[in-house]
């Protein structure tokens, strides 16, 4: 059996967990390549106009994998840190099933709902049962995979905090979803532009999720989306350690449009720029805006 893992959406939050789990069980897998123009164009064919860019990208990755594996891996994660994920995550399974209905696509998934009875270990247990894997072996593989993911996140946070506390460069906190900041097409060009300007990008997504969630409660008790809470909490915790904030959003994202507006209205004492990315590949406009933002930060610092 060969499993296809789309390099999109939750892959950027769970890469180590998923790959280590399959490695330990000896299950062969293939990961779709970095996002490119062709993947986006192919994904867009399956989407309606109002679909957000990350979902179009996700559809493109599934399209790439559909003839190259036996199952495409599409877990459904409904809650994280006691709050709901965006509706698009909750609907992923049905969305893909429907979009690829003519392709007879086989989907391998687990259903995680930490607010209810399907917490992550139980969701993996069910997945193992479906795969007809011995219970003890499945449990061992999951534990090892989870540990690998947690270690990876821990050291990534440590490394980033180190850089943040020691660098003499201008620092900006980049607030963007994992699948945006990690994507070759969406986030990487912006990170590279910042580095070219000699600015240190501090990635909000790389800070501890639980700590960020708790901090976000000080700003809003009612905001529903867990992944936006992570970003909001990182801003609340680290805004005093950076010179500015870069909000990256993809068109048209409902949760970001509300959350980012709230961030702009709440944090008035720090320079903030919002960059909206769509399926167009022209980056000159973004580059010019980032340069102007950099000049402003520099002047302020001096």
Nearer to ligand SF4, 160 or 180 (CB): 180
Tell me how far, at minimum, the Cβ of 196 lies from ligand SF4, in Å: 26
Nearer to ligand SF4, 96 or 141 (CB): 96
Tell me how far, at minimum, the Cβ of 163 lies from ligand SF4, in Å: 27
Do strands 111-113 and 76-80 pair parallel, antiparallel, or not at all (unpaired)? parallel
Residue with tokens 């989306």: 225
Please report, as ranges, the residues that interact with ligand SF4 according to CB under 6 A.
52, 54-55, 86, 88, 177, 250, 253-256
Tell me how far, at minimum, the Cβ of 257 lies from ligand SF4, in Å: 8
> Side by side, which strands form the sheet with 170-175?
199-203, 170-175, 244-250, 272-277
Tell me how far, at minimum, the Cβ of 168 lies from ligand SF4, in Å: 34
Residue with tokens 């449990």: 139
Tell me how far, at minimum, the Cβ of 231 lies from ligand SF4, in Å: 11
Tell me how far, at minimum, the Cβ of 117 lies from ligand SF4, in Å: 25
Nearer to ligand SF4, 138 or 182 (CB): 182
Nearer to ligand SF4, 113 or 256 (CB): 256
Nearer to ligand SF4, 77 or 297 (CB): 77
Please choose, from the candidates 81, 82, 64, 62, the residue with its C-alpha nearest in 3D space to the C-alpha of residue 72.
62
Please choose, from the candidates 213, 208, 176, 233, the residue with its C-alpha nearest in 3D space to the C-alpha of residue 81.
213
Nearer to ligand SF4, 208 or 256 (CB): 256
Nearer to ligand SF4, 17 or 178 (CB): 178
Nearer to ligand SF4, 40 or 86 (CB): 86
Would you state the structure tokens that stand for residue 96, as one six-digit string?
């893909």
Would you state the structure tokens that stand for residue 6, as one six-digit string?
């789309």
Residues in CB range of 11: below 8 A, 6 or more apart: 5, 18, 31, 179
The CA-atom distances, in angstroms, between 221 and each of 37, 218, 229, 256 are 39, 7, 10, 17
Residues in CB range of 264: below 8 A, 6 or more apart: 247, 272, 274
233 phi, psi to nearest 5 deg: -65, -40
Please choose, from the candidates 39, 7, 13, 33, the residue with its C-alpha nearest in 3D space to the C-alpha of residue 279.
39
Tell me how far, at minimum, the Cβ of 254 lies from ligand SF4, in Å: 5
Hey, what long-range contacts does 130-133 have (CB within 8 A, 24 or more apart)?
Answer: 131/25, 131/27, 133/25
Tell me how far, at minimum, the Cβ of 273 lies from ligand SF4, in Å: 18
């Amino acid at each position: 059996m060969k499993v296809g893992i789309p390099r999109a959406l939750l892959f950027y939050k769970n890469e180590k967990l998923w790959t280590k789990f399959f490695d330990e069980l000896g299950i062969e897998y293939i990961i779709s390549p970095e996002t490119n123009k062709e993947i986006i164009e192919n994904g867009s064919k399956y989407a309606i106009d109002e679909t957000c860019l990350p979902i179009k990208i996700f559809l493109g990755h599934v399209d790439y994998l559909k003839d190259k594996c036996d199952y495409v891996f599409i877990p459904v994660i409904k809650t994280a840190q006691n709050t709901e994920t965006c509706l698009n995550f909750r609907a992923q399974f049905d969305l893909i099933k429907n979009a690829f209905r003519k392709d007879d696509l086989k989907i391998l998934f687990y259903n995680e709902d930490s607010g209810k009875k399907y917490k992550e270990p139980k969701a993996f247990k069910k997945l193992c049962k479906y795969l007809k894997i011995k219970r003890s072996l499945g449990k061992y593989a999951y534990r090892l995979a989870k540990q690998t993911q947690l270690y990876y996140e821990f050291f990534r946070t440590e490394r980033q905090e180190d850089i943040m506390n020691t660098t003499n460069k201008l620092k900006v906190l980049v607030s963007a979803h994992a699948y945006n900041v990690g994507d070759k097409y969406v986030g990487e060009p912006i990170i590279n532009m910042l580095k070219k300007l000699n600015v240190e990008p501090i990635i909000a997504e790389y800070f501890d999720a639980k700590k960020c969630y708790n901090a976000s409660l000080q700003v809003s008790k009612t905001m529903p989306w867990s992944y936006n809470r992570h970003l909001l909490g990182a801003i609340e915790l680290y805004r005093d350690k950076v010179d500015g904030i870069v909000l990256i959003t993809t068109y048209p994202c409902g949760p970001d449009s509300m959350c980012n507006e709230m961030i702009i209205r709440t944090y008035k004492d720090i320079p903030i720029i919002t960059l909206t990315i769509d399926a167009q590949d022209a980056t000159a406009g973004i580059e010019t805006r980032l340069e102007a933002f950099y000049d402003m930060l520099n002047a302020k610092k001096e």
